[in-house]
Amino acid sequence: MGLGLDLILLGPPGAGKGTQAKKLVEKYGIPQVSTGDILRDAVKNNTALGIEAKAHMNRGALVPDEVVIGIVKERLKRGDCSKGYVLDGFPRTIAQADALFSYLNECGCPINGVIDIRVSKGYLVKRLSGRRVCRSCGFGYHIEFSPSKGNGRCDNCGGELFQRDDDREEVVTKRLDTYEAQTAPLIDYYEKSGLLKTVNGVGDVEVIFNDICKIVDGR
């Protein structure tokens, strides 16, 4: 690691963090560090922390903060992070944020930007619960924003469209409630540090990305 473009993306499920992170990777040539991806990678490669994480996951338990933090630290030590990185999905809690803050300051390369993608809860429920997927080819639709032309059938292959379990309204609402309770306090945390900037996450993807780039380039 070194002093570079060290960013954190905040935002609730469905806010578009993953999409915007990938666009930042393409534009600025820095890696996307996604907690989900690096956890799966650690488990796949049977690292010491990966084995420990897998034991918790197999029991259906949350992976403890110290294990997640350890895996993130291992990832940030890789050479591709020397010019910076985009953290997507981490930190999720104040405890994780404190641990990250301490570690990066010890390394002499603190986070220099936190961008919160703001989308209202009502809009997110509509966005996520309206998704439909083709059982045959996996193509995605939305009942309001990008519906299929057929009556519940895929335009590409004629397959049946269905709603994934985690896109059901009650599940989406629960996920958003969990985010608000656990992760939203990070907004205050980073606001007090003077690092937080916000963008409107509703609208054209390119417009949102341009808003993010203005913040990044104006650091």
Annotation says 40 is catalytic: no
**Which candidate in 75, 92, 127, 132 is catalytic?**
92
**Which candidate in 44, 164, 174, 219 is catalytic?**
164
Annotation says 164 is catalytic: yes
Listing DSSP states for 107-172 in one string gives HT----EEEEEE--HHHHHHHHHTEEEETTT--EEETTTB--SSSSB-TTT-PBEE--GGGSHHHH
Annotation says 75 is catalytic: no
**Cα–Cα distance, 92 to 152 (Å, whole number):** 37
**Which candidate in 54, 83, 175, 197 is catalytic?**
175
Annotation says 132 is catalytic: no
What 3-state class would DSSP assign to 16? coil
Half-sphere exposure at residue 205, Cβ-oriented, CA atoms within 13 angstroms: 10
List the one residue out of 57, 82, 52 whose CA is nearest residue 69.
Answer: 52
What 3-state class would DSSP assign to 176? helix
- For the annotated catalytic residues, the residue numbers are 17, 92, 131, 164, 175
